[in-house]
Amino acid sequence: MALITVNALAEGMVLANDLHAPNGRMILARGAVVRSAHVRMLKVWGVSEVDVEKGGEEITLPEEFALNEEELRRRSDEIVDSYFPPAAYGDDCMRELRRLCVLRTARKLKEGISLPELPERGDRPPQMPLRDGLPLEPISPYTLVRNEVRLVSYPDIYFKIKEVLESPVSSAAHIGEVVSKDPSLSARLLRLVNSSFYGFPTPIESIPRAIAIIGVNELTTLALAVSTINFFRHVPERYVDMRSFWEHSLACGVFSRILAYAKRKPSEERYFLAGLLHDIGRLVLYRKMPELMTFALRLAVYARIPLFRIEKRLFGFDHAHLGQLLLREWRIPETIGHLVGDHHDPFACEHPEDAAVIHAADVFALALRMGTSGSWFVPMLEKEAWKTLALSPASLESLLVQGERQMQETMNIFFPQREAGV
């Protein structure tokens, strides 16, 4: 039994296993004899490797991690349990997610890669600050948003991109023109387009070509996303590590897009944008209510409660709702606003299957420890959500693998290592 590339296939070889296309379609059964005519079709379907019974040059698989090493296994379990909800054992999908995280953790430990550590649990935070730092009147999210001057003054290019996005008759020429005016935007966009984000087989050298291949609407949304990151990455924050914040946001964006594509949603870039912006409301909270947020952060760590629940209790609203209002101020289309607004409570809205994508992506991002916006614990993803997304334990692994790969490349594009610690 050997894996060979499609190009190495020859007439007469026998399949050692059922052969499926990447989209799941069954092509040939185990024991089928390969004909040269099949090779063309295998390429059409996107099959890259075939398992045949004998002959051919072998491809070595990455070594599967050996879990016989007890100590490593125990430590990985411990680490994962520190941030995974105990209820995860009760749900098939959560259990599988946890298992994959354990494997990943163990691999990283073996490779000597440092893992993010949970903040010190510390003592129980003192009673909620009553007088200092607390406004005399209840806090209105609308006021918060409107007063956030810094966040409101977006650059001209952002506005122009939005215009292109909103017109149904915008063409490649329009967006090409807008984007080309900002070289750093164009550069980042091109790198993104050439990454595993799209996995296009041949290099894409220009924005017009990118638009031709990817699509006008798609690229415009991406441009909006990139310009948003560009704009915010330099915003310094005292209370949160911005790099970590953006890493988490990107991870959520990447996974949202992967999930949306898997569910054949028509505009997966929109989900990328929504995932990217899903926690933007928190930036406002940190900026405007620092003492309360500090308290909230400490309480979250101490009591192992998801941060958004504490937000809700403290302020009466959470960062998701705040984020939606902010996006409205920025006049970002309501479709994206809703995705952000409902990402913690997808079943409260009209189209749960849409917001559930962001919700699940958030969970994946946290499970894989790709940065944080303040919350350290993985929320429980309920059975209903898994069902709405039609996700089964078996489908998780490939999703996570795709996400990891894309994250690596994307982080490099936006937050190259040398800029760490900004």
Partner 1 sequence: MTDDTVRDSPEETIRELREQLRRVSEQATSLEEQVRSLQQERRTTLRILDAALSSGGPLLPVDKALDPAAVLHEASQKVRSFVRLGAVSFHLVSSDGLDMTCTYCDPGDTLPFLERELQFLIDDGTVAWSIDRNKPVIVTSSEGEQPLLLHTMMTPNHRTVGLLFGVLGEDPAGIPDIARAFLTVVCNATASQLQDAELYGLAESLNRTKDLFLANMSHEIRTPLNGILGMAELLDDTLLDAEQRAMVETVRGEAISLLGLLNDLLDISKIEAGRMELEEAAFDFRGFLRELVRSTSSLAKAKGLAFRVLADPFLPERLLGDRLRLAQVLRNLLGNALKFTERGEISLEVSLESPAAVPGGNGHSPRLDFAVRDTGIGISEENRKHLFEAFVQADASTARRYGGTGLGLAISRKLVELMGGEIRVESRVGQGSVFSVSLPLRVPGPSSALPPERKGETAAEREEAEAWAASVPPLFHGEGRLLLVVDDNATNRVVLQGLLRKLGCGSVAAEDGPGALRALSEKAFDAVLLDMRMPGMDGTEVVRRLRDPTSPAHLRRLPVIAVTAQAMKGDRERHLALGIDDYLVKPVSSRDLGESLRRVFAPERLFGGDGTSPRRDTTNGEGLSVQSGDAGVGALQGTDAVENAPDPESFDPEILLARVEGDGALAEQVIRVFLGDTDRFRIALGEAAASGEPAALHALVHAIRGSAANVAAGRVERLSARIEETHFLTKQEFRESAIWQLEEELARAAEAMRRFLDRMSGQGWRREQKEG
Interaction site with partner 1 (CB under 8 A)? 22-23, 25-28, 37-38, 40-41, 43-47, 167-173, 176, 199-202, 208-209, 211-213, 215-218, 264, 266
Query: Within 10 A of 136 (CB to CB), how many other CB atoms are there?
Result: 5
Residue 101 or 254: the one with the smaller Cβ distance to partner 1 is 254
Give the other-Cβ count within 10 Å of 17's Cβ: 15
Report the residue number, 213 or 305, with the smaller CB distance to partner 1. 213
Question: Minimum Å distance from CB 212 to partner 1?
Answer: 4
Closer to partner 1 by CB, 28 or 94: give it. 28
CA 275 to chain centre: 6
Strand, helix or coil at 19?
A: strand
Residue 148 identity: E
CA distance 158 to 185: 10
Quickly list DSSP for 275-338. Answer: HHHTTHHHHHHHHH-HHHHHHHHHHHHHHT--HHHHHHHHHSS-HHHHHHHHHHHTT--HHHHH
Cα 414 to chain centroid, rounded: 14
Rounded distance, CA 235 to CA 389, Å? 35
Please list the residues that pair with 28 across neighbouring strands: 19
CB of 169 to partner 1, least distance (A): 4
For the bound state, the minimum distance from the C-beta of residue 95 to partner 1, rounded and expressed in Å, comes to: 28
Task: Give the chain's radius of gyration (CA, Å).
Answer: 23
The residues pairing with 311 across neighbouring beta strands, listed in sequence order, are: none
User: Least distance to partner 1 from the beta carbon of 47, Å?
Assistant: 8
Find, among 215, 205, 204, 203, the residue nearest to 175 by Cα: 215
Nearer to partner 1, 200 or 231 (CB): 200
Structure tokens at 15: 């399949």
> Nearest CA to 383 among 401, 351, 360, 350?
360
Helix, strand, or coil here: 342? coil
**Amino acid at the residue 20:** H
Q: How far is the CB of 40 from partner 1 (least distance, A)?
A: 6
- Closest approach of Cβ 202 to partner 1, in Å? 6
Q: How many CB atoms lie within 10 A of CB 241?
A: 17
Rounded to whole angstroms, the maximal C-alpha distance in the chain is 82
Q: What is the number of other CB atoms lying within 10 angstroms of the CB of residue 345?
A: 16
4 has which bridge partners?
50
**Shortest Å distance, C-beta 330 to partner 1:** 21
- What is the smallest separation between the CB atom of 257 and partner 1, expressed in angstroms? 13
Shortest CB 191 distance to partner 1, Å:
18
Residues 255, 336: Cα–Cα separation, whole Å: 16
Which single residue is written with the structure tokens 């994307």? Answer: 410
- CB within 8 Å of 180: residues ≥ 6 apart: 186, 207
Q: Which amino acid is at 406?
A: Q
Q: How far is the CB of 157 from partner 1 (least distance, A)?
A: 18
d(CA 75, CA 72): 5
